[in-house]
Chain A
Amino acid sequence: MALYCHTLRHDPQNPQWPDRDRFILSKGHAAPAVYAVMAECGYLPVEELITLRKLGSCLEGHLVADSPPGVEMTSGSLGMGLSFSLGQALAARLDGKDYRVYCLLGDGDLNEGQTWEAAMASAHHQVDNLIAIIDYNRIQNDGFSDYSRYEDKSRPQRIAGWVSEEGHTVNIMALQPLEEKWRAFGWQVLETDGHDLSALIETLEKAKGTKGRPTVIIAHTVKGKGVSFMENNPAFHGKAPTPEQAEKALAELA
């Protein structure tokens, strides 16, 4: 939202504009959120959102390039987005263009080795027109990525991937110390509250001013923020709410 409405240089009437900033969603499963913001900006009619995941709709379950026009990259297999973003950042430099590439990564993307290959290569190529944003909610498909998010500390941390009473996997893959990792890979690291729009915009502005190296913004987020029964609850990662839950959620968010 902050990106599309404030930071990105883009034109919904001209999605192929060669000088547009690029937004790359590496965690392709968040496609519905992207469609919603794109509709808000005028890339597609808001009424079309209801066709999501239905046969014949251009709104696929995971992002598909140019469907609708404005989607830059096909994603859905985690860990590929940062490599693609580096490719675009290198192209901008080659073509003498001043557009920037913004890549949104999830915890899951950071589990994949490819993301770290891309991180290493980006610093190596000194692309300062590349800005990665991490949606650091510490929840993945099966449960909690870190030990830290889980209250019950009765099990030793060395047991990775144990299953909690509630049925969530805990400690799928510890990502800390995250800041040090990215710094060691040669990136400028900024941190912000991912739910504070003005702080996020300010951080993005700071990233844009950086020369000589890529920037990563660690956005601390709470998955399901604003909905009491979804907040920090891995059960809703891949599951749509029931109609009653949806109503309750909308009421809470209003």
Chain B
Amino acid sequence: MTTKAAATREALGPTLVRLRREGLDIVVVDADLGSSTTAREFGKVFPERFFAVGVAEQNMVNVAAGLAATGKTVFISTFAVFAPGRCFDQIRLGIAQPRQNVKLVGSHAGIITGEDGASAHAIDDLSLMLSLPGFRVIVPADVVEAEQAIEVAARTSGPFYVRCVRPKIPVIYDESHEFQLGKAHLTRPGKDVTVMAIGVMVWKALEAAELLAQQGIDCRVLNMASLKPLDVEAVLAAARETGAIVTAEDHLVHGGLASLVAQTLALHQPAPMAFIGMQDQYAVSGRWDQLLEHYGLTAEKIAEAARSVLARKKG
């Protein structure tokens, strides 16, 4: 892992500019947060393809759907609390049901949005987006993967949700990394226990694996960036081969990664599990690193959870 740090949202604007230059029919609709989500970078270069609709997320979604219905690749972005949060019905009926070619980038997701407080912390956006049939849901772990995920979303027809974050987090991949839709990324091999993580928690999971290694525990780390479609094969293989599973996400433990993995294992390959994430509560204001500590989204807690599932493992 390098010591570089970047916010995953930083990938949005520059990637859209590059893809338009490569000939994709991209347009952007913006709800007065383009400077924050970086989508405005696109507007600077292609002003005639950038539509400001003011702070009006519901309108943004259906305007995007209208543009997409004419064959364009439409990107919309705002804070993840406001879309899906503020315009879920518009997303469901306007984008999901008719399978419009709209890509929603929810930036500033999770409690790591920090000081702005609970009204700005999207901790339920994955529950909402995973509940929409046909929507692909991607949670990049770093800026390298974010750029790749945005490109895959742009080049693949149909609705996508890409979840990005505000603060600069460690860059864990180099250019050799390849994000694949429907595939988990084996970020660290291991045979005793598996931590499945998304977003900022992939970094924490890698740290946890280091801690566990010091105690002689061989921990596998799977980056589940492609939440939907989920890599069911990789999930079942982890349960079969390591027999103990921990999930880690900056999101409520219901409705997101934990629920998805638990449902998959319950059907095919039950295994002892533990869930790291927000436990049925809203967070408060604070520095993002302090919030992760405060709510137990840390390497130490993941390692502790890994030891507890190991103890419950059969044989």
Contacts and interface: CB of A to CB of B under 8 A. Distances in A.
Contacts of B120: 61-62, 76
A171 B285 CA distance: 32
A254 to B, nearest CB: 28
A62 B117 contact: yes
B32 A28 contact: no
Interface string B68-85: 000000000000011001
- Residue among B54, B85, B116 having the largest count of chain A Cβ atoms under 10 Å: B54
Contacts of B56: 111-113, 173
B53 interface: yes
Nearest to A164: B44
Interface string A109-127: 1011100000000000000
B119 A62 contact: yes
Q: What does DSSP make chain A's interface, helix, strand, loop or mixed?
A: loop
A61 B285 contact: yes
B217 interface: no
B54 A111 contact: yes
Nearest to B116: A61
B32 A172 contact: yes
Contact of A77 (B40, B43, B47, B81): B81
A109 B55 CA distance: 7
A184 interface: no
Interface in A149-204: 159-163, 167, 169, 171-173
A169 B52 contact: yes
Given A54-B286, A61-B115, A173 B43 contact: no
Interface string A65-87: 00000000011111100000000
A172 B43 CA distance: 12
A163 B286 contact: no
A75 B119 contact: yes
Interface string B41-65: 0011001101111111011000000
Given A62-B120, A160-B51, A173 B32 contact: yes
B32 A108 contact: yes
A141 interface: yes
Nearest to A140: B32
B52 A160 contact: yes
Contacts of A171: 52
B59 A113 contact: yes
B36 A55 contact: no
B35 interface: yes
Given A64-B118, A172-B54, A163 B32 contact: no
A53 interface: yes
A161 B287 CA distance: 32
A11 interface: no
A28 B34 CA distance: 20
A113 B34 CA distance: 19
Contacts of B59: 113
Contact of A76 (B32, B52, B53, B119): B119
Given A76-B116, A159-B47, A161-B51, A169 B40 contact: yes
B196 interface: no
B284 interface: yes
A142 B287 contact: no
A112 B56 CA distance: 5
B295 to A, nearest CB: 11
Contacts of B44: 163
B30 interface: yes
Given A55-B290, A61-B119, A162-B43, 11 more contacts: A53-B286, A56-B284, A57-B285, A59-B285, A62-B120, A77-B82, A108-B32, A111-B56, A161-B47, A169-B52, A173-B53
27 contacts: A53-B285, A53-B286, A54-B285, A54-B287, A55-B285, A55-B286, A60-B284, A61-B115, A64-B118, A64-B119, A75-B119, A77-B82, A108-B32, A108-B55, A111-B54, A141-B32, A142-B30, A142-B33, A159-B48, A161-B34, A162-B47, A163-B40, A163-B43, A169-B32, A172-B32, A172-B54, A173-B54
